[in-house]
Structure 1
Amino acid sequence: MRNISDLIEQYLKHMLQESSDGAVELQRNDLAERFSCVPSQINYVISTRFTLEKGYFVESKRGGGGYIRIQRVELPSLTALQGHIVHTIGDQVDQGAAEGLIYQLEEAEFITRREANLLRAAISRDSIAVKLPLRDEIRARLLRAMLITLLIK
């Protein structure tokens, strides 16, 4: 059985798919009431699963008429994607940012689930068992080379 965070994430993703402009505005308290949870649970889901690295822009306004706005950030076209990858990864990339980019590419269906799993395994800190900052440099080189190769198809 899935946990409440998974259910909230799936609900929000469904809302984003149904949205004509790729964005949703919601009241945190209304969403918490819908899922019978505390508002901080909603904050947790949004702050961990709807990050910029994962392809989402989140804006919030506090107060009586406050809201949370989640917008899907579209990846550039395939021809511009290589430049985006080189720019995003840079000379060093930590594991969290690398996994966020892989997630974003998988969600946009530029890579398959299997390819994403292989990438995650190759760039994990367990696979690159050297000390920082060398590990982040190696991860960046590996990830950049693998993604460019995968996306040239």
Structure 2
Amino acid sequence: MQNKNMSDIIEAYIKSVLQENQRIEIQRKQIADHFDCVPSQINYVIKTRFTPENGYAVESKRGGGGYIRIMKLAIVDDSEIIDAMLSVIDDTVTLRNAIAIINNLAANDVINQREAEIMFSAIDKDALGKFINAPEVRAVILKNMLLKLKYQETK
């Protein structure tokens, strides 16, 4: 674990707890105390790594009895996960979020690793770097690929 930063360690811990349960409730302060870090570090990990793009839903309640509830999204079929990914793409999408979406598709066996690599190459900085509006172009390309996955032609 010496090459991992604190965010990676916290993420791994939360994911290990989520393997046992589909839903967990945590308190920022307790987790921060456990890892000897500030509660804002916990917020950062949850905000950046436990997103719908990554296959999670998060609810939080602030205050003395506050908690953060993290739920692993249950996917019934491929079209449901594709719809979930389409719903998080606005008119623009960052490269980071696009990568998370593609990784989520691969993790849920909607696409294979080769298809993921092709999708990555279509939305990365090498392909879109010269566009001033790269986040908008990336969103259009990613939405189109997702729709093609959802509505594959039957042979």
Relative to structure 1, the CA distance from residue 84 to residue 56 in structure 2 (aligned partners, 3 Å threshold; closer, same or farther) is closer
Show the counterpart of 2:131. Answer: 131
**Contact (CA 8 Å) 2:28, 2:68: kept in 1 or not?**
yes
Unaligned runs of 5+ in 2: none
TM alignment of 1:1-80, pairs within 5 A: 1-19=3-21, 22-80=22-80
My pick for the range that moved more, 119-128 or 58-67, is 119-128
State the Cα RMSD in Å. 3.2
Cα offset for 1:102? 0.8
- How far apart in 2 are the matches of 1:14 and 1:57? 16
Alpha-carbon distance change, 114 to 38 in structure 1, aligned in 2, over 3 angstroms: farther
Assess, with a 3 A threshold, how the Cα gap between structure 1 residues 41 and 110 changes in structure 2: closer, same or farther: same
Q: When the two structures are superposed, what TM-score results if normalisation uses the length of structure 1?
A: 0.75
State the SS of the aligned residue for 1:127. Answer: helix
Q: Is the 8 A contact 1:125 1:135 kept in 2?
A: no
TM-score normalised over the length of structure 2: 0.75
AA aligned to 1:118 is I
Shift of 1:119: 1.9
Structure 1 outlier segments of 4+, above 4 Å? 79-94, 132-135, 149-152
> How many residues align structurally?
151
SS of 2:125 mapped into structure 1? coil
In structure 1, the residue matched to 2:101 is 101
Which amino acid letter does the alignment assign opposite residue 43 of structure 2? N
The CA deviation at 1:78 is 2.5
